[in-house]
Amino acid sequence: MKDPRVRQFAEVLVNYSGRVQPGDVVLISCAGLEGMPLVKELYALCLEKGAKYVEYEFSVPEIGRHFYNLASADQLSYFPQHKLDFMKQVDVYFGLSAADNSMVNAKANQASMIAWSKVVRPIIDQRVKGTRWVVTRYPTHGAAQEARMSLEEYEDYLFAACCMDWEEESRKQDALKACVDAADRVHIKAADTDLTFSIKGLPGIKCDGRLNIPDGEVFTAPVRDSVEGYITYNCPTVYQGKEFNNVRLEFEKGRVVRATAPGMDAELNRILDTDEGARYVGEFAIGVNPNIRVPMRNILFDEKIFGSIHFTPGQAYDECDNGNRSAVHWDMVKILVGDGELWFDDILIQKDGRFVHEPLLGLNPEE
């Protein structure tokens, strides 16, 4: 039986996020074959909206793993120019992940993964800078297992987090953006965390369903050399097919000078040594999606957890550019619910994961 929420989800993506217009060129890219129901709905809706060309493609992570393990140096250095040429024609990009196993690349050649990410960076940059893009997830048994849920529970959770009144959520985020825009110093205090940095002159950017679904954050970036102190992330993070827990980073003058993760120190530091910018932070964000409350081992959800922050080693976004450049952009999440304070200058913004500053109370979800 067709789930009507899939059509509702597609309508959010096409009408609100992608804003598909007559004459648009659209690319629907899905990693994993289980995303077929959503691809079908997106394809039909884009045609109904008058897009002049809609292309869809599927990739299979189990096949892609062979590339990292078997590719020669020449194969790893080959730039797929045809993909960049087509991306330059794309007006709207939908990126779906419906992979059944998030650990498919856990044993893949990490050096090859890093090398390939550098090679294809121009294609990603063109997609980010030149299209109306949105990325999302489709519920699978594998993703449900990662989230410690049944598939039915996971579907309920995903559709609740994605099929929201995003125009209303956008209005709610205005107050937080204003606070970010006015702030200089940020201080985060929590368990094994005491972190200070400046965001002076760097704007707050609302994430209100245009680029990610689910969405729900306001981000900025630290002044590159201003970060001091330490942070221990309490949310699992999966990067390049490997899961890291309790990542602890220590900063001096903006740079990660010590990085540890139980049993994964070498892998963690190898990623942070990808390039010079990987040890500096390109993003600081506050999660505000009221329907995302627990970690799911899926960063598209976890970085939006209400009452969380993420502090991201690597590449800065163009919308809030602190000058940091890297092939890495690794969102790591710290949940402050029940333990934590977030200060802007001398104002306590959030305590134990709930907003306490008067202009921001409307962001708090009903308990």
pLDDT digits (tens, 9 = 90+) for 95-126: 999 988 877 888 889 899 889 989 999 999 99
Average pLDDT of the residues in 270-288: 97
Q: Is the pLDDT of residue 1 over 70?
A: no
Q: How confident is the model at residue 47, as a pLDDT?
A: 98
pLDDT tens-digit readout, 39-90: 999 999 999 999 999 999 999 988 989 999 999 999 999 999 999 999 999 9
Quickly tell me which residue has 């394809």 as its tokens.
43
Mean pLDDT of 248-256: 98
Tell me the backbone φ, ψ of residue 297, rounded to 5 degrees: 60, 35
CA atoms within a 13 Å half-sphere pointing along the CA-CB vector of 276: 4
Q: Which residues pair with residue 25 across a beta bridge?
A: 53
Determine the pLDDT at residue 330. Answer: 96
pLDDT for position 101: 81
Domains of the chain, earliest start first: 4-162 (3.40.1830.10), 166-363 (no CATH)
pLDDT value of position 367: 64
d(CA 305, CA 74): 42
Q: Across the chain, what does the average pLDDT equal?
A: 94
**Hey, what amino acid is at 118?**
K
pLDDT value at residue 265: 97
Q: How far apart are CA 320 and CA 349, in angstroms?
A: 21
Residue 342: its H or E element? strand 341-344
